[in-house]
């Protein structure tokens, strides 16, 4: 008997899933199939625990390019640049207005053998503010809030605390009723040097080559997965790619490792509610990061 589809539990803190028959043994290969409605699902998901007490190694040379926290939310009617920009400028100490953006919709249609294209201006989307040291950017949009941190990245506590404080400023002015999606994204770039051209010394599971072609060098590759965390409203999207490198760029080739972890459950916009969700997402991000790179690669980053 397959495990029943569980209702989404309260988020934040340790969570665990157990199917009807009890915990499943570990070490099984991933299983997936479509149910009667054609929806990809998973029979008998294994038990899974988010353990905030689990230690992760500190990396003094972490390959982070950008860290992002997003709260997708709908601002109240009347939220626009004219009425809100001055309020943000007075509240966002250490930040300056960067730019404003609009949303456009492009459509094409074929009439009498001719293709015509139309562009419709859907109005103001939002604005961006940049920190004085140019390492952080805030997006204050009609459909939510995004906080980005570029290098140099200091610590999770600093990053998440500032994000929630800035979100509180946005919330006081934009008045969203709830948060439809809470997301945490870390984009990493791991350089490939002359000493580390073997992908198997960096990734625990690199690209699988066809039999008979395993001796050929890999110029580009792309790996993607989306994982569902049983018993939670959390999903984990992973992407590892080796993009082409321009010969004249002066940059060494590198693996881009993109980790996007998010909560798909509608939640209260209070920072006290969002904080434990972010802590769960951070743990999942760490689990994905340290579970993807080899011990040899991690040693090089310490």
**What is the Cα–Cα distance from 79 to 75, expressed in whole angstroms?**
6
Q: Domain limits at 219?
A: 64-106+126-301
Using CB atoms within 10 A of its CB, is residue 132 exposed (0-12), middle (13-18) or buried (19+)? Answer: exposed
Q: Determine the average pLDDT of the residues in 164-178.
A: 98
More confident residue, 244 or 240: 240
Does residue 140 lie within any of the structural domains?
yes
Per-residue pLDDT, averaged over 115-124, amounts to 82
Is residue 165 situated within a structural domain? yes
Average pLDDT, the chain: 85
Structure tokens at 179: 């948060």
Instruction: Report how many domains make up the chain.
Output: 1
**Model pLDDT, residue 17:** 33
54 assigned to some structural domain: no
Complete DSSP assignment for 65-81: EEEEEEEE-PPPTT--H
Q: Is residue 250 pLDDT above 80, yes or no?
A: no
* Exposed/middle/buried for residue 122 (C-beta within 10 Å: 0-12, 13-18, 19+): exposed
Instruction: Answer whether 59's CB lies under 8 Å from 302's CB.
Output: yes
Q: What tens digit of pLDDT does each residue of 133-169 get?
A: 999 999 999 999 999 999 999 899 999 999 999 999 9
pLDDT of residue 43: 60
Q: Is residue 4 in a domain? A: no
pLDDT, residue 249, reads 63
Question: Is 47 inside any structural domain?
Answer: no
Give yes or no for residue 93 having a pLDDT over 70.
Answer: yes
Provide the percentage of residues in the chain whose pLDDT is more than 70: 82
Task: State pLDDT tens for residues 64-87.
Answer: 999 999 999 999 999 999 999 999
- The pLDDT assigned to 33 comes to 44
Percent of the chain at pLDDT > 90 equals: 65
- Tens-place pLDDT, residues 10-23: 444 433 333 333 33
Q: At 106, is the pLDDT very low, low, confident or very high (cuts 50, 70, 90)?
A: confident
CB neighbours of residue 284 within 10 Å: 21
CB-based contact 153:159 (threshold 8 Å): yes
**Residue whose tokens read 């007075």:** 90
In a domain? residue 89 = yes
Question: In terms of Cα–Cα distance, which of 22, 49, 61, 70 is closest to 263?
Answer: 70
Q: Does the residue 37 lie in any domain? A: no
Residue 171: what pLDDT? 98
In this predicted structure, the answer to whether residue 4 has a pLDDT above a threshold of 60 is: no
Between the CA of residue 29 and those of 2, 43, 61, 78, 252, what are the distances in Å?
A: 17, 12, 33, 51, 35
* Res 6: pLDDT: 32
Alpha-carbon Rg for the chain, nearest whole angstrom, is 22
Burial class (CB in 10 A: 0-12, 13-18, 19+), 183: buried
Mean pLDDT of 114-126: 84
Has residue 224 been placed in a domain?
yes
Contact present, 2 and 44 (Cβ < 8 Å): yes
Q: Residue 102 in contact with residue 117, Cβ under 8 Å?
A: no
pTM, to two decimals? 0.82
């Amino acid at each position: 008997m397959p495990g029943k589809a569980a209702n989404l539990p309260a988020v934040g803190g340790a969570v665990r899933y157990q199917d009807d028959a009890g915990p499943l043994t570990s070490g099984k290969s991933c299983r997936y199939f479509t149910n009667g409605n054609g929806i990809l699902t998973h029979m008998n998901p294994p038990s899974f625990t988010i353990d905030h007490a689990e230690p992760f190694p500190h990396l003094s040379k972490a390959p982070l390019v950008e860290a992002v926290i997003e709260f997708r939310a709908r601002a109240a009617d009347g939220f626009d640049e004219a009425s809100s920009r001055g309020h943000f400028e007075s509240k966002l100490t250490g930040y300056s207005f960067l730019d404003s953006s609009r949303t456009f919709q492009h459509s094409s249609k074929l009439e009498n053998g001719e293709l015509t294209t139309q562009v419709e201006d859907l109005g103001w989307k939002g604005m961006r503010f940049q920190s004085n040291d140019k390492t952080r950017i805030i997006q204050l949009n009609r459909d939510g809030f995004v906080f980005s941190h570029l290098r140099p990245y200091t610590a999770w506590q600093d990053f998440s605390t500032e994000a929630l404080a800035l979100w509180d400023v946005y919330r006081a002015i934009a008045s969203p009723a709830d948060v439809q999606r809470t997301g945490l994204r870390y984009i990493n770039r791991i350089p490939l040097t002359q000493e580390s051209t073997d992908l198997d010394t960096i990734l625990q599971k690199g690209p699988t080559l066809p039999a008979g072609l395993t001796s050929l060098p890999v110029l580009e590759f792309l790996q993607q997965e989306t994982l569902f965390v049983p018993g939670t409203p959390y999903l984990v999207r992973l992407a590892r790619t080796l993009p082409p490198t321009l010969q004249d760029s002066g940059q060494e080739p590198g693996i881009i490792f993109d980790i996007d972890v998010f909560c798909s459950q509608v939640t209260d916009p209070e920072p006290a509610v969002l904080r434990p969700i972010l802590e769960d997402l951070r743990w999942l991000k760490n689990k994905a990061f340290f579970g993807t790179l080899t011990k040899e690669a991690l040693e090089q980053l310490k």
